[in-house]
Amino acid sequence: MLDAGLVWDGYFCDYDRNFAIGSVSQAIKDGHHRLIDATSAAIEVAKPGATAADLFHAMDKVLTGGAGGSDAGRYGHGLGMQLTEWPSIIPGDHTVLEEGMVLTLEPGLEIAGGSGLVHEENIVIRADGPEPLTRFSAPDMVEI
């Protein structure tokens, strides 16, 4: 996993990408697909009026069947003048999303055998739906 945080004109970008040197197990491939599916689920509800908790629950339903979280902790956060800002995408954060808010969607999961995967995209909340700020990752993990 590559976890990168960059700064442009005082504003942060924070994203993760997963790739493999050589081949990976089917469990890892499937896990990566689930992370992309979880991100897509959050994008469906990431509109003004939704809450940070709504985003969490959309991703958690894909990742754990709605069990309420995993060892990965939160599934994203606000982003701006600091690398990590409010709100936190956790079940207890009922911050209402407003147009112009910048967020990371950062689902993570544990794979049998002790491996973990995290994926992260950046979006800005717009009236007609979220605008991607990162080039969204494909569902298939890159194998080099």
Dihedral over Cα of 124, 51, 90, 56: its sign: negative
**78-98 burial, b if ≥16 CB within 10 A, otherwise e?**
bbeeeeebebbbbbebeeebe
Domain ranges, ordered by start, for the chain: 2-143
Confidence of residue 20 (pLDDT cuts 50, 70, 90): confident
The per-residue pLDDT for 42 is 97
Question: How far apart are alpha carbons 47 and 35 in whole angstroms?
Answer: 20
pLDDT digits (tens, 9 = 90+) for 40-72: 999 999 999 999 999 999 999 999 888 777 666
2-143 has which fold?
A: Creatine Amidinohydrolase (3.90.230)
